[in-house]
Chain A
Amino acid sequence: MNFPELIQSVFDDTLGPGQSLSLFRPELTLCATMIAILLARMILPRWKTSGFYLVLLGLTLALAFVFPWRWFAEGALPGQEIFTGLLAADRFSVALRGLLLLFTLLFVTFTQIAGRWAPEDGAEFFVLLLGAVLGMCLMVSANHVIVVLLGMEMASLPCYVLAGWQRDRRVSSEAALKYAVFGAAAAGILLFGMSLLAGALGSVHLPTMGRRLAELLQAGVDPAQLTALILGGLMVTVGVAFKLAAFPFHFWIPDVFEGATAEVAAFISVASKAAALGLLVRLAGAFVGVPDARQFLVVLVSLLAAVTCTFGNLAAYGQNNLKRLLAYSTIAHAGYMMMPVAAMIALAGGQGSPDAPLSEAQKAVAALLVYLGIYLFMNLAAFAGVAFMRNVAHSEDLRDYAGLVHSSPGFTVCMAIVMFSLLGIPPLSGFTAKWTIFLALVSAKLWTLLAIGVLNTVLSLFYYLRVVKVMTLDAPPADRAAPRIPLTSAAGAYFAMLTVPVVALFFLWGGLSRWADAAAQALFFTTFGP
């Protein structure tokens, strides 16, 4: 192939019938929005709306691009590689990007209502935010080592800055520094692991890597290569576990959440987790075809899930800072969300083609998507509640929530709904989420993990209920005015609006699971070996 031909083929792949670029429109829109905000700020320096409406427009457009609903019709978008194999474009990536963008849309509104920074900072905040979302979108559709690295770094770097957004607060800068150092170290380790894996397998294209591994294991592998593979695999696990906040790579989460604003914590807690899980599914999905790798991965992910979940729930006891409590709850939920991934790996045996009905493994992925879809609303709502309370009571301490029911009953009811949903009590969507992932564990016969998951749900009862108890039963402190958040204020209305899906998704269970099934159906599994 000579040079002009090469150029021509790249050109065709990008703009031609393969239409890589058209499937990439959401990301392009995000880039355009970022540039537009920066330009607007340069041309109109006194522009006080800080680009909020621009962001809103951009995100809505991106969401519209990512969600051509016809893709969810039977058989549409069966899954293909775009940009010469760099990205995977299937319904799974569509669904996850949709969730991410929907979350960002809600989140931007939330920061606009709750944010307490100078208006001229707003533009930078939004640019960083959109940059992070762009990176996350790349993570969930990664099909190539280079995109994995690029996506992870693009998602992480803006988050470091966002964590240190309140420049004058000591804790804020401490949180940012810890996050940055940790994140960079984890990225370095992941990169080194990737280099070992790529070298040992002789490829950087994830599905090809999986295929090579199968060939290698069949042909027999020499000890040096095996060491490189194991070390590389573990290092990659460390990198992903860091993003997921799996024990013992979770240490940054509580510190960062406490130091950063509740808004940023919400963003990291939901979007970053969703992207990391998407990446985990992609990485694991590339190697599940190999029986040996599958056994290894099941043990690894199950173990991480169980330990993370249990640790998060135990450590949440006795926390008095609500943001810190939610940080540990986030860790616990990351554990729950790794459970369906373990189930997916265990179930990925052989079958699974775009046309076939859902395989068991794809159902496990669907369970993960259901969980993510519900988690998005309830966790955002929980952090939104914390942020609104901070604006009114200037405190994130649980003690200052005492007797809140007397001064802001509507707010308290919504907060209680969110807490009950995080716990997973039946008439709320949190129950749907837990039920779905436990069902996936049942079909994967991961009984130990199931028992740990159920036990953990019981464990978490106490600290979620404690929040509700403090808000309703404890007497309000006499030495200060009771904080008031009427549901008619912008904050209260936004909060109430977020609790609607928390309740409604329980009743729209069928729709949600159908959507998740459709998204998981065309997930591309490399299949080889028995």
Chain B
Amino acid sequence: MNPLTQPIGLSHYLVVGAILFVCGIACMAAKRNALGVLMGIELVLNGANLNFIAFGSPLLRGEANQTIGLDGQLIALTVIVLAAAEAAVALAIALVYYRTHATIDVDRGEELKG
């Protein structure tokens, strides 16, 4: 059965979420630029958010007792706020890092090791 020909269901959302997650992880691991790494983190968070919303939707889930209902959407909203806070903090730190290192390449910070 070809998922592309199926009506849109829960598994489609999950696949998109997983793709977002993998892209985010890859971005975090591969990017040298701190901003790139932060973007990767955003992708991961959004992938998780998509999962929560999909799981919370009775429309997609069918069986009502298995859904997490409004909780999914609440978590998604919370995560958006948390992501914003995290981005703010991380960007501020990146700014300080830039002031002392004159770059935001994460692999330039290698004074701490051993």
Question: What is A's interface to B at a CB cutoff of 8 Å?
Answer: 145-146, 149-150, 153, 157, 160-161, 164, 167-171, 173-178, 180-181, 184-185, 187-189, 191-192, 194-196, 198-199, 202-204, 254-255, 258-259, 319, 324
Contacts and interface: CB of A to CB of B under 8 A. Distances in A.
A195 B111 contact: no
Contacts of B24: 188
Interface residues of B, number: 49
Contacts of A194: 48
Main SS of the interface on chain A?
Answer: helix
Interface of B: 14, 17, 21, 24-25, 28, 34, 37-38, 40-41, 44-45, 47-49, 51-52, 54-55, 65-68, 71-72, 74-75, 78-79, 82, 85-86, 89-90, 92-94, 96-97, 99-101, 106, 109, 111-114
- Of B40, B86, B99, chain A has the most CB atoms within 10 Å of the CB of B86
B99 to A, nearest CB: 7
Nearest to A232: B51
Contacts of A258: 112
Nearest to A200: B55
A145 B93 contact: no
A324 B68 CA distance: 44
Nearest to A205: B71
Nearest to B21: A192
Query: 8 tightest CB-CB pairs across the interface, nearest first?
Result: A188-B44, A195-B51, A174-B109, A199-B55, A202-B66, A255-B112, A191-B48, A192-B48
Given A176-B93, A181-B28, A196-B51, A188 B100 contact: no
B87 to A, nearest CB: 9
Contacts of A176: 93, 96-97
B41 A178 contact: no
Looking at A146, A180, A185, A324, which has the most chain B CB atoms within 10 Å of its CB? Answer: A180
A494 B93 CA distance: 33
Contacts of B54: 199
B111 A160 contact: no
A194 B48 CA distance: 8
Contacts of B44: 185, 188-189, 191-192
A196 to B, nearest CB: 7
Contacts of A254: 112, 114
A442 B72 CA distance: 42
Given A171-B112, A181-B106, A199-B68, 16 more contacts: A146-B74, A150-B78, A153-B86, A160-B89, A167-B100, A168-B100, A180-B90, A181-B38, A184-B41, A184-B86, A185-B41, A188-B45, A192-B51, A195-B49, A198-B68, A199-B52
